[in-house]
């Protein structure tokens, strides 16, 4: 499938760069000299979570590459409207000089203290060290340290950030926060439990909340909700939460809440979907209801929802969201007992993910489509350099999906992306890591095992790629095998691919049977338009290029039950 691609140029604004290096306020007489000791918490992000750092727009995440030291680093996905500032507030002593340093990578990355000194550099391809000093005021007892990128400059990275100096107040802050209140469970799967609680108060300020399972601390977060992952199915857990301030004072425990995780086996989402792609703007689209009657298929993935201009969703950027042929066909599908999941994006075209100015704007566009059709699920087909290989856009899409999922109880979210024969590529791994760090709660990660060097063994290489995805989901989310499989989708290509890979009906049957036996969540293929024979016809829009029966791949797909 090819759609003319319109890349919207971005206005790059640097007029404010000169103001970023803030001068120190009036000097304080005879400031003390800080003793060298890093007083930041989680300075190298080696905990695997952001806490106690907080990032604007949910645009910060912890990644495993590229790093400066250790095995983790911070990634901030700066957008056109948000510089992805990540900050941490620490206790300091008055009238004392501190040294702030850190290693950063990216275009126009800043390091500084709120209301005081800052410095910046541009180092797109390698880590570079930034260093700045500041002196606290005569009565200052806390300082907010930050790092951020610059608008529309893409993802920056930061690692090994150090604030050298004595901890705050010489031990004068000994007052602990109040205990968190009303701890409750807001959801669970076979391997995770989601929690929320009422905020604590403190004389200086709460810097983190520590979540305990029994007597073991399992997670630290800066907000008043969290999801504890890596749990065992059908197992009872008891959780409490304690608040902590920057001086290290810890509150009493909250009330306890006991939760038993769901059973394993069939998976964590309970979502199963056989939904081949149907494209009404290409490839002599067949009658959707006739294909349903002939094959037993119930779901279609409808392609493609794009940007009609101004972050306004339209089919193919040209056909109206409602009132046109697309809605007519959707109504017919539903009247015949079926349903649809719209696919946003694709390989080319003017995409909402790339063009909407912010995650909130993108969420608003998605919500228009959800409201228009009363959707049960949406698919984000994240491809090409404008979305898949743009980490800031990845984060924007994931944050938008998190928003609409929270605003539409029961909505299932699917992300679809390319793969290698052994599993996710760098950008696929990055997408999964960002989904975990942003707590996006994606239901299905669907890979596209075609045009991926599959050669003559499309069954074996599809299985290998899917097993690679399973391994990545397990290591990232702490899931067991069954839960990982239950969050996986496969979206193939029937007949000949662009690389002349050949998925025959017999091979697709093997793939479907493997998918059923491993209880994955979703099976799709590109596309019903091509589910017609034309041996020797090549790679075309309205047939498969091989010998087959009409609608044979759709019939096979209809046998997917998960």
CA distance linking residue 59 with residue 243, whole number of Å: 24
- Say if residue 505 is preceded by a cis peptide, omega within 30 of 0: no
3-state secondary structure of 101: strand
Residue from 46, 383, 467, 501 carrying the catalytic annotation: 383
In whole angstroms, how far apart are CA 206 and each of 91, 249, 370, 387?
11, 9, 38, 37
Cross-strand partners of 74: 62, 158
Tell me the CA distances in angstroms from 321 to 312, 369, 487, 508, one per residue in order. Answer: 9, 7, 29, 33
How does DSSP classify residue 48?
Answer: S
Rounded to the nearest 5 percent, the helix, strand and coil shares of the chain are 25, 35, 45
Q: Which of 219, 223, 193, 186 is nearest to 206 (CA)?
A: 223
Quick one: tokens of 103?
């290693």
Residue with tokens 């979502």: 271
Look up residue 108 and give its two tokens: 């126009």
Active site residue 387: no
Q: Distances from the Cα of 182 to the Cαs of 88, 198, 252, in angstroms? A: 26, 6, 14
Of the CA atoms within 13 Å of residue 160, those in its CB half-sphere come to: 14
Show which residues are catalytic. Answer: 383
């Amino acid at each position: 499938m090819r759609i003319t691609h319109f890349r919207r140029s971005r206005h790059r604004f640097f007029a404010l760069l000169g103001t970023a290096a803030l001068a120190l306020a009036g000097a304080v007489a005879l400031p003390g000299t800080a003793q060298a000791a890093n007083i930041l918490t989680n300075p190298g992000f080696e905990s695997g979570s952001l806490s106690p750092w907080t990032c604007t727009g949910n645009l910060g995440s912890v990644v495993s590459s590229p790093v400066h030291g250790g095995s983790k680093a911070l990634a901030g996905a700066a957008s056109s409207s948000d510089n992805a500032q990540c900050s941490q507030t620490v206790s300091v002593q008055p009238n004392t000089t501190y040294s702030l340093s850190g290693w950063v990578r990216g275009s126009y990355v800043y390091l500084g203290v709120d209301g005081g000194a800052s410095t910046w550099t541009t180092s797109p391809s390698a880590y570079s060290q930034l260093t700045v000093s500041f002196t606290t005021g005569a009565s200052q007892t806390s300082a907010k340290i930050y790092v951020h990128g610059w608008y529309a400059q893409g993802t920056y990275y930061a690692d090994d950030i150090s604030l050298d100096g004595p901890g705050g107040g010489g031990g004068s802050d000994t007052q602990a926060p109040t205990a968190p209140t009303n701890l409750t469970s807001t959801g669970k799967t076979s391997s995770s439990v989601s929690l929320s609680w009422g905020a604590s108060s403190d004389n200086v300020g709460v810097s983190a909340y520590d979540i305990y399972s029994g007597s073991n601390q399992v997670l630290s977060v800066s907000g008043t909700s969290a999801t504890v992952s890596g749990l065992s199915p059908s197992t009872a857990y008891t959780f409490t939460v304690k608040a902590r301030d920057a001086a290290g004072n810890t509150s009493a425990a909250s009330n306890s809440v006991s939760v038993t995780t769901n059973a394993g086996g069939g998976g964590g989402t309970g979502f199963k979907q056989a939904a081949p792609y149907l494209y009404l703007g290409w490839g002599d689209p067949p009658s959707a209801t006739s294909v349903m009657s002939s094959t037993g298929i119930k779901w279609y993935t409808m392609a493609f929802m794009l940007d009609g201009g101004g972050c306004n969703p339209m089919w193919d950027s040209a056909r109206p969201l409602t009132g046109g042929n697309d809605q007519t066909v959707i109504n017919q599908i539903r009247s015949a007992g079926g349903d649809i999941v719209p696919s946003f994006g694709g390989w080319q075209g003017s995409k909402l993910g790339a063009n909407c100015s912010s995650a909130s704007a993108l969420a608003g566009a998605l919500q228009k489509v959800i409201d228009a059709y009363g959707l049960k699920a949406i698919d984000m087909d994240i491809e090409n350099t404008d979305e898949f290989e743009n980490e800031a856009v990845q984060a924007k899409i994931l944050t938008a999906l998190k928003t609409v999922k929270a605003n539409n109880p029961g909505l299932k979210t699917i992300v679809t992306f390319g793969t290698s024969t052994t599993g996710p590529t760098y950008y696929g791994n990055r997408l999964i890591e960002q989904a975990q760090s942003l707590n996006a709660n994606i239901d299905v990660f669907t890979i596209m095992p075609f045009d991926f060097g599959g050669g003559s063994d499309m069954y074996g290489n599809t299985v290998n790629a899917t097993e690679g995805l399973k391994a990545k989901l397990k290591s990232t989310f702490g899931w067991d095998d069954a839960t990982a499989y239950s969050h996986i989708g496969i979206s193939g290509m029937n007949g000949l691919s662009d690389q002349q890979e050949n998925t025959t009906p017999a091979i697709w049957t093997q793939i479907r049977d493997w998918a059923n036996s491993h209880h994955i969540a979703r099976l799709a293929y590109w596309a019903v338009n091509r589910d017609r024979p034309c041996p020797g016809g090549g790679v075309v829009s309205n047939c498969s290029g091989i010998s087959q029966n009409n609608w044979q791949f759709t019939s096979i797909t209809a046998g997917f039950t998960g």
